[in-house]
Structure 1
Amino acid sequence: MFTGIVQGVATIARISDRPGLRSFRLQFPDGFAHELAIGASVACDGVCLTVTELHGANEADFDVMQQSLSLTTLGHFREGDTLNVERAAKDGAEIGGHPLSGHVDVTAEVESIRQPENNHVIRIRVPGGWMRYIFAKGYIAINGASLTVAEVNKAENWFEVWLIPETLRMTTFGDKAAGAPLNIEIERATQVFVDTVRDALEERLGPLLPALEKLLASQGQTLDTLASPVPLPKG
Structure 2
Amino acid sequence: MFTGLVQSVAEVCFIENKINLSTYVIQMPLNFLLGLEVGGSVACNGCCLTVVAVESDKISFDVLTETLRLTNLSLLQVGEKVNVERAARFSDEIGGHLISGHIMMTAIIIRIRSTCNLHQIWFEVQDFSQIKYIFYKGFIAIDGISLTVGKVRNKTFCVHLIPETLSRTTLGLKILGQKVNIEIDLNTKSIVDTVERFSLVRKNLKSSCFI
SS in 2 for 1:136: coil
Q: 1:159 aligns with which of 144, 157, 160?
A: 157
Unaligned runs of 5+ in 2: none
Report the counterpart of residue 193 of structure 2 in structure 1.
Answer: 195
Q: Structure 1 CA distance, aligned partners of 2:115 and 2:203?
A: 46
Q: Which amino acid aligns with 1:76?
A: L
CA–CA distance in 2 between the matches of 1:26 and 1:79?
9
What is the count of residue pairs matched by the alignment? 206
Q: Which residue of 2 aligns with 1:220?
A: none
CA distance in 2, matches of 1:78, 1:92: 35
CA distance in 1 between partners of 2:97 and 2:185 (Å): 8
Secondary structure in structure 1 of the residue aligned to 2:51? strand
Cα pair distance change 1:208/1:124, threshold 3 Å: farther
**Per-residue deviation, 1:77:** 0.7
What is the CA deviation profile of residues 118-174 of structure 1, one whole-angstrom value per residue up to 9, with x for unaligned ones?
111000111321110000110000000000001111x3x111100101101110001
**Post-superposition CA distance 1:176-201 (Å, at most 9, x none):** 11110010000000000001101111
Other structure's SS at 2:181 match:
strand
Q: Quote the residue 2:65 is aligned against.
A: 66
Q: Which runs of 5+ in 1 are unaligned?
A: 210-235
In structure 2, give the amino acid aligned to 1:135. F
Equivalents in 2 of 1:128, 1:143: separation in Å? 19
Report SS of the residue matched to 1:100. coil
Is 1:172 aligned to 2:173, yes or no? Answer: no
Q: Which runs of 4+ in 1 moved over 3 A?
A: 206-209
Shift of 1:208: 7.5
- Higher strand proportion: 2
In structure 1, C-alpha distance between the alignment counterparts of 2:84 and 2:21, rounded to whole Å: 21
Name the TM-score, length of structure 1 as normaliser: 0.85
Equivalent position of 2:136 in the other structure = 136
Displacement of 1:60: 0.6
Question: What's the CA shift for 1:71?
Answer: 0.8
1:206 aligns with 2:181: no
The percentage of counterpart residues that share the same residue type is 44
